[in-house]
Chain A
Amino acid sequence: MNLKQKTSAKSKSSLRDGEGRTAFFAISPFYFLYLVFGIFPILYTSYMAFFAWDPLGEKVFIGLTNFTNLLQDEVLWKALRNTLSIWVLGTVPQLALALYLATILNRNRLRFSNFWRAAILIPNVTSVLAIAVIFSSLYGRDFGLINYVLNIFGVDKINWMEGTLTSHFEIATMIIWRWTGYNALIYLAAMQSIPKELYESASLDGATGWQQFKYVTLPGIRNVMIFTITMSTIGGLQTFNEPYILGGVTGGNDKQFYTLAMFLYEEAFRKFQFGYGAAIGIFIFFCVVIFALINATIASKIAKD
């Protein structure tokens, strides 16, 4: 017994040397690239935010001035409001719809289930800007199909990107269109990993379909829900492509759909205020952390009750 243990320990340690070397080779390309292009820029941003940083000229340490200026900048608060509004309009219906689609796809004896699953994933596998061009045509003021249909019901022509709420709505529908199916599949996967016995015993106890959903399904997919909410928070606070291509880099005449990411882009790469841009980046990061925490708390509460 003792002897056996000894030899196995010995062979393990000699194996481990080879393992260490292979592990080193396996990880170092990833690690090197990730360090240089992933970690370093993030850390350097926090450094730059304390400087008045002219890309072609001087870099002057100014302490917290970028941050105090930023917090007094009206544009920041407007961009934050817009970003949050677009994110809420785009995320809440999206995840609710995804949950509903997932319960449908999770039905027993659903026909063509492979077809439906593939169909709802298509929007996620398309070119964002191409879709933006299409949506922009559908929402067109004069010849857009959506205004045409609304007109049948007596609604006057809407200039979607002109208004604050209407522009947010247009951008949000595009986000919903792209991500609902993807999240539905994620929910579906989580639902399928819930043991069938839980449902059986629940229905033996006389639980209705809705009660089963509330007391078995929701708690069962809680972690995945938190995951999707966190991901959509990270994505939502960085919204850039959709408003940019639907309405232009200025974010509208009234900055009605100007987002935080557009603000960062403009300050850093149009006005070349690198330090100020870095401060905006850090602001976005803090928003992500705060909102992700709030959402995770809310989501776990909902699933627990």
Chain B
Amino acid sequence: MSTLTIKKSTSPATKPQFKIGAILAYLTLGVTTFLVVFPFWWMLVVASNEKNEIAKNPPRVTLGDQLPVTFDVIFQYANITRAITISFIIAISMAVSHIFFCTFAGYAFAKLKFKGQKQFFAFILLTMMVPGQLGIIPMYILVTRLGWNNDLKAIIVPGLVSAFGVFWMRQSISAVITDEVIQAARIDGASPWQIYTKIVFPLVRPTALVMGLFSFLGAWNDFLWPMLILDGDKMLTVQMAIAQMKEQAYIVNHAAQMGAAFFATLPLIILFFLVSKQLVKGVMEGAIKG
């Protein structure tokens, strides 16, 4: 009896506890994953069923066969293909330019020496705290003065660079590339530009891509600014198209709204599956340095 109790208390006493903890952990992760996936599943269910199937008691939670009908409605009434094209143009321009300009500026802040470097950088950090909406009215006036109303330029040009992109790349470049590497390249006679293209950029390309992806996402999801600039008729983004469909519920039914949501989400999901590992890594890397 006594040996038994001793055994229990001295041998890895945490073992049974650990097991309960492990079960709880996997259960939590399982439930979380279910909650993450379910809204997407529901989107497909509503988009692929007739209205009365969803209104039934209990409602149907499996896929139906109405998807083609739904897509017909969408393509007939909504500018969804056009909206997706426009959103792609905006988002890709911003991502590419972020990758180029923000990485280049980040390199200068991390590895080159110039006057006012510290002050500049502190200033950028400070402005990152300012809510974007603070400047939206002057932006509107500015863009109108430039004659960029209803023009994609008004959305793309202000989004070509961002403080967060420069900040992120500066942190990454300082962390990944040691001063010795750069010094060695200098001794070999490489110019700062060559150092950037031959050494710095290849080394931080993964981070730069993730940063570009986040600016792609930001652009894809922006709603307020495009809504102010574009007329919403011929010129509209995916987000605007969805908002319009939701407002025109009398023509565009519930299933079609979900179908549009499906089209707005699909490119992002595909992109996500292609680069999910890098994305997770990017989010986590940004955190430690941030």
Contact with A along B33-65 (1 / 0, CB 8 A): 101110110110010000000110111010000
Does B243 make an interface contact (CB < 8 A)?
yes
A118: which of B113, B191, B254, B277 is its contact (CB, 8 Å)?
B277
Q: Is the CB of B108 within 8 A of A143?
A: no
Q: Known contacts A116-B33, A288-B131: does B105 contact A27 (CB below 8 Å)?
A: yes
B269: which of A30, A126, A134, A143 is its contact (CB, 8 Å)?
A126
Does A290 make an interface contact (CB < 8 A)?
no
Does A41 make an interface contact (CB < 8 A)?
yes
Contact with B along A117-131 (1 / 0, CB 8 A): 111111101111111
Q: Is the CB of A133 within 8 A of B101?
A: no
Does B28 make an interface contact (CB < 8 A)?
yes
Most interface-central of A134, A182, A187, A281 (chain B CB within 10 A):
A134
* Chain B residues whose C-beta falls within 8 Å of the C-beta of A274 in the assembled complex: 137, 141
Most interface-central of A31, A125, A186, A265 (chain B CB within 10 A):
A125
Q: Is the CB of B287 within 8 A of A282?
A: no
Q: Known contacts A33-B161, A42-B134, A129-B264: does B36 contact A145 (CB below 8 Å)?
A: no
Does A63 make an interface contact (CB < 8 A)?
no
- What is the number of residues of chain B that contact chain A, defined by CB distance less than 8 Å? 97
* Chain B residues whose C-beta falls within 8 Å of the C-beta of A269 in the assembled complex: 140, 228
Question: A32 — nearest CB in chain B belongs to which residue?
Answer: B161
Does B150 make an interface contact (CB < 8 A)?
no
Question: A246 — nearest CB in chain B belongs to which residue?
Answer: B246
* Chain A residues whose C-beta falls within 8 Å of the C-beta of B131 in the assembled complex: 234, 237-238, 281, 284-285, 288
* Chain A residues whose C-beta falls within 8 Å of the C-beta of B268 in the assembled complex: 125-127
* Chain A residues whose C-beta falls within 8 Å of the C-beta of B26 in the assembled complex: 111
B172 shortest CB reach to chain A, Å: 14
Q: Is the CB of B283 within 8 A of A48?
A: no
A16 to B163, CA, bound (A): 25
Contact with A along B180-221 (1 / 0, CB 8 A): 000000100001110010000000000000000000010011
Most interface-central of A117, A182, A187 (chain B CB within 10 A):
A117
A268 to B139, CA, bound (A): 12
Q: Is the CB of B36 within 8 A of A123?
A: yes
* Chain B residues whose C-beta falls within 8 Å of the C-beta of A181 in the assembled complex: 32, 36
How many chain A residues sit at the interface, stated as a range, is 35 or more
- Interface-located stretch among A72-80, A87-95, A99-107, A210-218: A99-107
B277 shortest CB reach to chain A, Å: 7
Does A110 make an interface contact (CB < 8 A)?
yes
A64 to B54, CA, bound (A): 55
* Chain A residues whose C-beta falls within 8 Å of the C-beta of B107 in the assembled complex: 26
A245 to B276, CA, bound (A): 28
Does A207 make an interface contact (CB < 8 A)?
no
Q: Is the CB of B135 within 8 A of A38?
A: yes
A14 shortest CB reach to chain B, Å: 11
B42: which of A19, A118, A138 is its contact (CB, 8 Å)?
A138
Q: Is the CB of A281 within 8 A of B134?
A: yes
B104: which of A26, A137, A186 is its contact (CB, 8 Å)?
A26
Contacting A at CB under 8 A, from B104-141, are 104-105, 107-109, 112-115, 117, 120, 124, 127, 129-141
Q: Is the CB of B137 within 8 A of A117?
A: no
Q: Is the CB of A45 within 8 A of B137?
A: yes
Question: A267 — nearest CB in chain B belongs to which residue?
Answer: B137
* Chain B residues whose C-beta falls within 8 Å of the C-beta of A153 in the assembled complex: none
Q: Residues of A at under 8 Å CB distance from B? A: 15-16, 18-24, 26-27, 29-31, 33-34, 36-42, 44-45, 48, 55, 100-101, 104-105, 107, 110-111, 114, 116-123, 125-131, 133-138, 142-143, 145, 148, 177, 181-182, 185-190, 192-193, 224, 227, 230, 234, 237-238, 240-241, 244-245, 248, 261, 264-265, 268-269, 274, 277-278, 281-282, 284-285, 288-289, 292
The 7 closest A-B pairs by CB, nearest first: A41-B135, A130-B261, A189-B284, A22-B192, A37-B158, A26-B108, A44-B138
Sampled A-B contacts (29; CB under 8 Å): A19-B113, A22-B193, A23-B108, A23-B114, A24-B114, A33-B157, A33-B158, A33-B160, A39-B127, A40-B142, A42-B130, A42-B135, A118-B276, A119-B37, A121-B272, A127-B238, A129-B242, A130-B265, A133-B43, A134-B258, A143-B55, A145-B59, A181-B32, A181-B36, A186-B287, A193-B288, A227-B287, A285-B131, A288-B130
